[in-house]
Amino acid sequence: MILRKVRMFKSTIKWLSDVIPIENLGELAKSIEVVSKSSSNLCLLCKGSRMLCGKVRCPIIIKAQSIVKYESLLKDHIHGSTPPSVFVGRIGYPKVYIGPMVPPYFGGTEILDTPEVWIGKSIDEIIDYRFSLIRGKVRASIFNVRKSDRLLDTLQELAMGKEPIDAEVIFMKKPRKVLSLSEETQPFGPSAPLKSLKVGNVSVDRRIENAFYDRDLKASDAIYKLYDEGVLITKIQRAFSMGMFGIGVYRKLVPTRWSITAVDSIISMKLINEIKQYESINEYRVYSFKNLDNIFIVILMPEKWCFEWIEAWFPKTVWNVKSKTPILMGDYESYWGRTTYASVGGCYYAARFAVAEKLRMERRQASALLLREIHPGYILPVGVWNVRESVRRALKNNPMKFDNLNTAWKYACTKLTIPSKDWIANSFILKQAFFQKRITDYLT
């Protein structure tokens, strides 16, 4: 979806005055950049109260409320404790924006950029975490890691940090807040061109530091080694995006968005190669979990490894605005894996990682079918971490166990709202199981 910037007139956002606790809305208008799409007129008609979009809550109002919480603290010179957090953009690749992310306050800020602890948090809390981090931006080539660069050195040091670090950030101008009139964009905090960055003493994670200084270690091996040593996925992704792993001459910056899926994919492939050596589980299992108005179902079957991910977007959700019925989409891989990028994107690899991790812990393999229903309460996307951590949490629950797929499937359907026939019509694994004849069917 191509977004366009529109000039923001006082009359255009007058309907927000009831939810933004700032007396002079005109002054606020000067500091907020509105990003709109062609259908945004619906928002002006609705004004957050009539819910013409069909959502249960207005995502724009929630974003607006979060934006103004730190309005008084936003200046062109801020002090705060970075979680630590850094980012690499993707716009303009191979010349991208890089920089630190720092909240305008001190303290234990780890939670602001650690999705592993966000399960159970509300949409409002997650949006607040995102909007509280202020980004400083500097253009850099993805190949900057191959030469001396003071800012990049500092950012890489931050990426190795294991606890919040006090920082002083000076911007070229006051950070600009963005209020997107689109339900399709993830919430991001204010940003501004970076003038200077000073950080306090960094207590580095020695595991990441060792991988950073090993310039003969392949990036994929470094990523898996760190995971095996217990480093959080978020921290591995952060360091990988800063070009800190791999053979020295081949290192480069990786946009944060790409690094997340790359790490999920790399680790899950290595886990899958390992679990293929183990025996299959000996029963059918059904796991379930609900989070942020999403329903997650995991069905593990006593067969060789294969994997399928299907997600169903209900009407009035992010990717299903116009249809009056749920839209199902998914992808699949056999025992031999896949050679193309999954059509459903990063969620596929995040889910695959969580399942492979669980099976590796048990030293077993299985055929895995994962189903996700996204209901209207999921008013805006929060990132693929939601899939990874929700599936992880589902797999920590005690499963229901069965001795055949029919009973396992019937039970799974009691946790879902979409009819069984619709899931079967969109599932390779279910169609194979229920309709494909096997040679053993003809043996007496």
Give me the pLDDT at residue 50, please: 52
Give me the pLDDT at residue 198, please: 96
For tokens 């599932």, name the residue: 427
Specify if 278 maps to a domain.
Answer: no
CA angle, corner 153, sides to 151 and 159, nearest 5? 105
Count of the separate structural domains present in the chain: 3
Is the model more confident about 131 or about 117? 117
CA-based nearest residue to 16, from 57, 58, 56, 73: 58
Last residue of a domain, one of 153, 178, 199: 199
131-145, 310-324, 377-391: the lowest-pLDDT one: 310-324
Last residue of a domain, one of 199, 231, 246: 199
How far is 433 from 406, CA to CA, in rounded Å? 9
Specify if 217 maps to a domain.
Answer: yes
- The H-assigned helical ranges of 167-255 are 206-213, 219-228, 233-241
Residue 288 and residue 316 in one domain: yes
Local confidence band at 438 (pLDDT 50, 70, 90 cut-offs): low
Is the model more confident about 175 or about 269? 269
Local confidence band at 55 (pLDDT 50, 70, 90 cut-offs): low
Residue 293 and residue 429 in one domain: yes
Specify if 8 maps to a domain.
Answer: yes
Residue 180 and residue 326 in one domain: no
Average pLDDT (54-82) is 77
Residue 130 and residue 227 in one domain: no
Give me the pLDDT at residue 318, please: 76
pLDDT of 14 higher than 60: no
Give me the pLDDT at residue 39, please: 45
Give me the pLDDT at residue 31, please: 53
Specify if 264 maps to a domain.
Answer: no
CA-based nearest residue to 253, from 57, 86, 75: 86
Give me the pLDDT at residue 84, please: 96
Local confidence band at 16 (pLDDT 50, 70, 90 cut-offs): low
Residue 217 and residue 195 in one domain: no
Average pLDDT (178-193) is 67
Residue 122 and residue 47 in one domain: yes
Boundaries of domain holding 109: 4-199
Tell me phi and psi for residue 247, to 5 degrees.
-60, 135
Residue 295 token pair:
């329903």
Last residue of a domain, one of 152, 176, 199: 199
Give me the pLDDT at residue 225, please: 98
Average pLDDT (361-388) is 94
Q: Which of left, alpha, beta for 12 (phi over 0: left; psi -120 to 50: alpha)?
A: alpha
DSSP assignment of 264-317: HHHHHHHHHHHHTTSPBPSSEEEEEEEETTEEEEEEEESSS-EEEEEEEEPTTB
Residue 114 and residue 185 in one domain: yes
75-92 pLDDT, tens digit each: 889 999 999 999 999 989
**What DSSP designation does 428 have?**
H
